[in-house]
């Protein structure tokens, strides 16, 4: 697959992924006490980190978006 995630998009996705993982796993907020929201946030955080690492977003591929220069 061709890369379709640019540098700024990649940094924002990594920050969002790390933030969601922190909230899901290490925060004591009552919002994340339920299993659905806790595991949902962890799953979305992992997907954001994987997309950031591989620079390939499947949703961007479906719709033909590209945020990188090449």
Tens of pLDDT, residues 2-15: 899 999 999 999 99
**Predicted model pTM:** 0.88
Mean of the per-residue pLDDT values of the chain: 93
| Model pLDDT, residue 56 | 94
Residues 31 and 53: their CA atoms lie apart, in Å, by 28
pLDDT at position 69: 86
- Pairwise CA distance, residues 9 & 38, whole Å: 24
Find the angle CA(38)-CA(39)-CA(45) to the nearest 5 degrees.
Answer: 95
Confidence (pLDDT) at 55: 94
Position 24 scores a pLDDT of: 94
């Amino acid at each position: 697959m061709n890369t379709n995630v640019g540098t700024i998009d990649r940094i924002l996705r990594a920050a969002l992924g790390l933030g969601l993982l922190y909230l899901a796993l290490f925060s004591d907020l009552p919002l994340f006490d339920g299993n659905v929201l806790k595991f949902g946030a962890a799953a979305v955080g992992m997907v954001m980190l994987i997309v950031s690492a591989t620079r390939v977003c499947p949703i961007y591929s479906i719709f033909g978006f590209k945020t990188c220069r090449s």
